[in-house]
Structure formats: structure tokens, C-alpha cells
């Protein structure tokens, strides 16, 4: 099972961006998905999570009110909608999934490859 994160780019302060994370490969059931971010020299920090299929979300305090994690219309896709972006939101954003792998018959945890978000004028 693999995760593909996409949607990063350059955005001006105050702008918006939507990141996507798609899970594919094999046969699996997504139980939860999290978004993390990391800047050079810093540890990866949790942005927010969503449980699946219920859709319960939780967010870090530093993004509350500015981001929304949601299920996509496409199966096994999750979005991170970010609004009112600040320069300090500049980071590589990663998605991380907890899932049940029907092929391996076990739980697994998978990271996506990351997508760069740059907030700058």
C-alpha cells in the first residue's frame, strides 16, 4: 500500500491551498489518516487527523480554525484544506495512514512522500 500526497506549491500569505492524499495498491481498509509537517532542522509535527470512515477530526492548536481535513469523493482520498496561510506554515507536508492490509492480514502504518508548501509574498 502506498500514499501519494499532492497539491503543494507557492501561495501568498493569507491564501489557501488544498492538499490531497491518495492511498492505493493492494487491498486495504483505511482506519485513520493524519497530516504532519516538517521544516528543516525540526521534528515532524502533527497537523491533524481524521478517523475513517466516520470522519471524526482533530487538529493541532496552531492550525485550529484555519484547516479542515475531509474525506474525498474518490475512494481512499483525504484532503487537507488550509486557509489564512502564514509564512510559518511553510513546510513539507506528509500524510500518514493507519490501515488494515487484507493481503498481509495485518495492521500497517504508511507514510506518503511529502509535498512542499511555501507561503511567501
Model confidence pLDDT, tens digit, residues 74-101: 778 999 999 999 999 999 999 999 999 9
Give the CA-trace dihedral at 39, 45, 51, 52, to 10 degrees.
Answer: 30
Grid cell for residue 95: 500524510
Question: What pLDDT is stored for residue 75 in this prediction?
Answer: 78
Q: How far apart are CA 100 and CA 26, in angstroms?
A: 11
Question: What pLDDT is stored for residue 53 in this prediction?
Answer: 86
HSE-CB of 110 using CA atoms within 13 angstroms: 24
Q: How far apart are CA 33 and CA 39, in angstroms?
A: 20
Write phi, then psi, for 109 (nearest 5 degrees).
-130, 130
Amino acid at each position: 500500500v502506498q500514499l501519494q500526497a499532492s497539491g503543494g506549491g507557492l501561495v501568498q500569505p493569507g491564501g489557501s491551498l488544498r492538499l490531497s492524499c491518495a492511498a492505493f495498491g493492494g487491498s486495504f481498509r483505511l482506519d485513520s489518516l493524519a497530516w504532519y509537517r516538517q521544516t528543516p532542522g525540526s521534528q515532524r509535527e502533527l497537523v491533524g487527523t481524521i478517523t475513517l470512515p466516520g470522519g471524526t477530526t482533530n487538529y493541532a492548536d496552531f492550525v485550529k480554525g484555519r484547516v479542515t481535513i475531509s474525506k474525498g469523493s474518490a475512494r481512499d482520498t483525504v484532503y487537507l484544506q488550509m486557509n489564512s496561510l502564514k509564512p510559518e506554515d511553510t513546510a513539507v507536508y506528509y500524510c500518514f495512514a493507519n490501515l488494515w492490509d487484507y493481503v498481509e492480514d495485518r495492521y500497517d502504518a504508511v507514510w506518503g512522500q511529502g509535498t512542499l508548501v511555501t507561503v511567501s509574498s
